[in-house]
Structure 1
Amino acid sequence: MKKEIHIIGSGFSALSSACYMAKEGYNVTVFEKNDTLGGRARQYKKDGFTFDLGPSWYWMPDVFERFFADFGKKPSDYYILDKLSPGYEVYFGENSSLKVSDNLEDIYAMFEKEEKGSAKHLKTFLDSAKANYETAILDLVYKPGISPLELVTTTTVARVTQFFSTVRKQVRKNIKSPKLIKILEFPVLFLGAKPDNTPAFYNFINYADFGLGTWHPRGGMYKVIEGMVSLATSLGVRFEVNANVEKIITDAQNKVSGLLVNGKTIETSLVLSGADYHHTETLLEEGLRQYSEKYWDKKTFAPSSLLFYVGFDKKIKNASHHTLFFDTDFDLHAAEIYDDPKWPTDPLFYANFTSMTDVTSAPEGKEAGFFLMPLAPGIEDTEELRESYFNKIMDRFEQLTGQEVKNNVIFKRSFCVKDFKEEYNSYKGNAYGMANILLQTAFLRPKIKSGKVHNLYFTGQLTVPGPGVPPALISGKIASELIKKNSL
């Protein structure tokens, strides 16, 4: 008789683990509280426009390839990838922007033009970033975070100083141009932390950026979700939507014995949660929770976000598929997220126009706009504040790109702290999980295996290896391997 496993949630990490567990011969059932699969990577459609609700950057294509290869498949079996050129554009002020090319030689030339001698320093920096990337992918990120000894390999020992310096120190050692500094420091925001609080080792994200490029799945990031669901279904995984898990039931020996789903008890002896880790523990009796409220409150969380999904009745000019607006004080905005949480004084923001490269995103002659402003988790969230910041973002966008767009808005939908809490049970409404700072790396993150409840496991952005879509795929694999090992 096949073993059974029930998985809570259907985001990237949950779908990844579902595939691996099914491959190992388990009967897998996935419970998703919302009416569509994908977790934070769901899709929103309106009036011929299509938006990814969450992740919009496709970096580290090798991780996706490795995932599908584990099942004898390729990404191209499920979706078509286009490499973006430019990868993205960064605005520093009116009529002041730089486009980051899709090849290294052009990037070196751009740096050299902006700051004489900087191309040489960039090459040295990227050599380090590439070595760190290879170390991370081969030696670190596929480890389960059980022991500090996981970090001790011949390659990590040789690079130990990288853990005790910061990305900011490394970037600013030789690069002086404020524009180039911002381009090199911004990718660590994907790790949920400030450049001055992120170990230099994590510069591997710069290699992912410049060395591996920025890609777009035709039809949107949701095509990846659809591909994973298709793979999982072919392996026998069952999916139930509108299935809200209300309680994890345990027996007298503190073993998982069931789940309460929509008021109905489902018997099970093995549960893996891809839902928010903090929320999942609230489904247990208080004495069976590994981590206290005080523990969670002291942790450094990645930002939340104010998001807008906007339909425009015309094509947008002077912007790229991915466009970053860094014309204000980077450090001030970061401080208002991490140090003194408040709505930002003068926010940086990001805009994404998939319809510039993907005709499926919007009707002909129109544009689908996705706007994101990083925000401190857990702060006040009102419709009035959202509207105020929408106007701020649109005013800045018009000024910097030299065009009028506010009168061309057909519709807009917002998504913010309250929505992250309600839709995803996200702790304090965070968008990306727990930041990857030194004291929240590897074995110092919340554990995959519960130490108090037998046969309860966790996967996703609050455990190893951390925030982001590629780490989520990896987290699903790690959790599955640990379950398999413990069941032998």
Structure 2
Amino acid sequence: MKKQVVIIGSGFSSLAASCYLAKAGFEVTILEKNSGLGGRASKWSNDGFKFDMGPTWYWMPDIFEKFFADFDKVPKDYYQLEKLSPAYQVFFDRDDSITISDKIEEIYQVFENEEEGSSEYLKKFLESAKYNYDVAINGLVYKPGNSIFELITKETISNVSQFFKSISSDIRKNIKSHKLIQILEFPVLFLGAKPSKTPSFYNFMNHADFGLGTWHPKGGMYEVVNGCVKLAEELGVKIRTHQVVSEIVVKNSIIKGVVVNNQFEEADIVLSGADYNHTETLLDKKYRMYSQNYWEKRTFAPSALLFYVGFDKKLKNVAHHSLFFDTDFNQHAFDIYDNPKWPDKPLFYASFPSMTDDTFAPEHKEAGTFLIPLAPGIEDTPELRELYFDKIISRLEDITGNKIKDSILFKKSYCINDFISDYNSFKGNAYGLANTLTQTAFLRPKIKSKKVKNLFFTGQLTVPGPGVPPALISGKIASQLIINQFKEILSVNLKPLGSH
């Protein structure tokens, strides 16, 4: 008889894990409390416009390829990709911006034009970034985070110091231009920590940026969710929405099932892709691995204030991905990590997907998504949301020359309170735990419970960390641990992690 796996939540890590487990011979059911699938990678539609409410960047295309290859598929079986050109644009002031091309030689020239000699450093920096990317993707990020020895390889030993110094210190020793420093430090923000607290090893994110490029799935990131859902269903996974899990039932330290919508449902294995802290509150205290004090002391990646806006005209002088770095980066970071409060002058990100994908907005109109990184756990009110919307729209108008306040058809906001209510997110964080030195690899919360047999966790609070590609990897790691535990009764085995 097949073993029954219940997966809580339907984010990328849960969807990925469900595919591997179903392929391996388990009976898999996903329970999603919301009406839509994809977890934080949800969507919203209004008056002919649509929006990716969560991730909007498609980086590391090779990770998606590896995921689908494990099932003898390719991404284009489920969605179509195009490489963005330009990849993105960074605004520093009125008439002062840098456009990042999709071609590396043009990027070198941009650097050289800004600071003489910087292109030579960039070439060496990216050689190191590519090497670290290969080391990480071909092994390290697929480790389950059980021991420091997972990080000890001949490749890491040869440059062990990069785990104990920051990417920020490396860059600032060699680059003087404030603009170029911000461009090189920007990619590690996807890891949810300050560049000054992020180990140098993570410069592999710069290879993901300049080396692999920025891509766009036709129809948006939610088409990737749809692809994962379709694959899961093809493999026999059952998916149910509007399913609120209120208890994980344990007897004598062994999983027995869950209480969902006030009904007991039997399970041999429970895998939670929901918020880790919330998941443990579904257990009796004696079965929890981490105390509330533990979570309070963690460094969380930021939360965010997001706006989804419909404009009644096309915008000019902006790119599909636009970064507004016209204020003090260090001060904004301080207001997130060191003295949590609403930033006086926030940096922000804007996405205008309808510039390259006409499925996002009606003809002659524009869809815009705006994001301000915030400290998790701070006050969130309608008045603060409105104040900050006015701040960023005024700055966008001033910097780009777009007069758009009178062209707004509608807007929807999303912030800390929504992350809590929709995803049970600890303090309303948006991206999980930051990948700081003391929260990397084996120092992150464990995927396998040490107190409850057959209870597992996956997602951005476990290994490898925040982001969509790491979520796919986390799903694979968690599923492999489950498969290894039950391999003697399985008729189908997964390929070894990271192999194809």
Structure 2 length-normalised TM: 0.97
Task: Give the deviation of 1:159 after TM superposition.
Answer: 2.2
1:25 corresponding residue in structure 2: 25
SS in structure 2 at match of 1:333 = helix
The one-letter amino acid of 2:167's match is V
Question: Quick one: distance in 1 between partners of 2:36 and 2:7?
Answer: 15
Question: Quick one: distance in 2 between partners of 1:182 and 1:164?
Answer: 21
- Find out whether 1:402 has 2:407 as its counterpart: no
The one-letter amino acid of 1:46's match is N
2:223 corresponding residue in structure 1: 223
1:187 corresponding residue in structure 2: 187
Question: Quick one: distance in 2 between partners of 1:178 and 1:223?
Answer: 37
Task: Give the deviation of 1:254 after TM superposition.
Answer: 1.2
Question: Quick one: distance in 1 between partners of 2:478 and 2:253?
Answer: 20
2:3 and 2:268 in contact (8 A); partners too? no
Question: Quick one: distance in 1 between partners of 2:241 and 2:475?
Answer: 20
Structure 2 counterparts to residues 71-470 of structure 1, below 5 A:
71-251=71-251, 253-470=252-469
Question: Quick one: distance in 1 between partners of 2:85 and 2:159?
Answer: 33
SS in structure 2 at match of 1:247 = strand
Question: Quick one: distance in 1 between partners of 2:367 and 2:453?
Answer: 47
1:40 and 1:424 in contact (8 A); partners too? yes
1:139 and 1:153 in contact (8 A); partners too? no
The one-letter amino acid of 2:134's match is E
Residues 376-418 of structure 1: CA distance to partner in whole angstroms, max 9, x if unpaired?
A: 0000000000000000010001000012111100000000000
SS in structure 1 at match of 2:394 = helix
Question: Quick one: distance in 1 between partners of 2:459 and 2:61?
Answer: 19
SS in structure 2 at match of 1:361 = coil
Task: Give the deviation of 1:2 after TM superposition.
Answer: 1.3
Residues 117-137 of structure 1: CA distance to partner in whole angstroms, max 9, x if unpaired?
A: 110000011011111101111
1:304 and 1:417 in contact (8 A); partners too? yes
Task: Give the deviation of 1:200 after TM superposition.
Answer: 0.5
User: Which stretch shows the higher mean deviation, 149-158 or 82-91?
Assistant: 149-158
SS in structure 1 at match of 2:246 = strand
Residues 317-337 of structure 1: CA distance to partner in whole angstroms, max 9, x if unpaired?
A: 110000000000000000000
1:421 and 1:427 in contact (8 A); partners too? yes
The one-letter amino acid of 1:194's match is K
SS in structure 2 at match of 1:320 = coil
SS in structure 2 at match of 1:464 = coil
Question: Quick one: distance in 1 between partners of 2:357 and 2:44?
Answer: 16
1:433 and 1:467 in contact (8 A); partners too? yes
Structure 1 residue ranges (4+ consecutive) displaced by more than 3 angstroms after TM superposition = none
The one-letter amino acid of 1:417's match is I
- Find out whether 1:38 has 2:38 as its counterpart: yes
SS in structure 1 at match of 2:345 = coil
1:65 corresponding residue in structure 2: 65
User: Which stretch shows the higher mean deviation, 152-161 or 443-452?
Assistant: 152-161
Task: Give the deviation of 1:139 after TM superposition.
Answer: 2.2
The one-letter amino acid of 2:257's match is G
Task: Give the deviation of 1:362 after TM superposition.
Answer: 0.3
Question: Quick one: distance in 1 between partners of 2:330 and 2:12?
Answer: 31
Task: Give the deviation of 1:97 after TM superposition.
Answer: 0.4
SS in structure 1 at match of 2:472 = helix
SS in structure 2 at match of 1:141 = helix
1:270 and 1:455 in contact (8 A); partners too? yes
Question: Quick one: distance in 2 between partners of 1:372 and 1:147?
Answer: 36
Question: Quick one: distance in 2 between partners of 1:403 and 1:479?
Answer: 47
2:10 and 2:30 in contact (8 A); partners too? yes
The one-letter amino acid of 2:395's match is R
1:48 corresponding residue in structure 2: 48
2:192 and 2:431 in contact (8 A); partners too? yes
2:33 and 2:243 in contact (8 A); partners too? yes
Question: Quick one: distance in 1 between partners of 2:141 and 2:475?
Answer: 12
Question: Quick one: distance in 2 between partners of 1:148 and 1:117?
Answer: 38
Question: Quick one: distance in 2 between partners of 1:264 and 1:361?
Answer: 40
Question: Quick one: distance in 1 between partners of 2:226 and 2:207?
Answer: 28
Question: Quick one: distance in 2 between partners of 1:288 and 1:151?
Answer: 29
Aligned-residue RMSD, C-alpha: 0.6
SS in structure 2 at match of 1:91 = strand
Question: Quick one: distance in 1 between partners of 2:54 and 2:392?
Answer: 19
Question: Quick one: distance in 1 between partners of 2:315 and 2:32?
Answer: 36
Residues 91-137 of structure 1: CA distance to partner in whole angstroms, max 9, x if unpaired?
A: 00011001100011000011001111110000011011111101111
The one-letter amino acid of 2:272's match is S
Question: Quick one: distance in 1 between partners of 2:19 and 2:139?
Answer: 23
Task: Give the deviation of 1:487 after TM superposition.
Answer: 1.9
The one-letter amino acid of 2:32's match is E
SS in structure 1 at match of 2:174 = coil
The one-letter amino acid of 1:308's match is F
Residues 73-105 of structure 1: CA distance to partner in whole angstroms, max 9, x if unpaired?
A: 000000000100000000000110011000110
Residues 208-253 of structure 1: CA distance to partner in whole angstroms, max 9, x if unpaired?
A: 00000000000000000000000000000000000011110111x1
2:477 corresponding residue in structure 1: 478
1:327 and 1:348 in contact (8 A); partners too? yes
Task: Give the deviation of 1:138 after TM superposition.
Answer: 1.1
The one-letter amino acid of 1:163's match is F
Question: Quick one: distance in 1 between partners of 2:354 and 2:253?
Answer: 51
Number of residue-to-residue matches in the alignment: 487
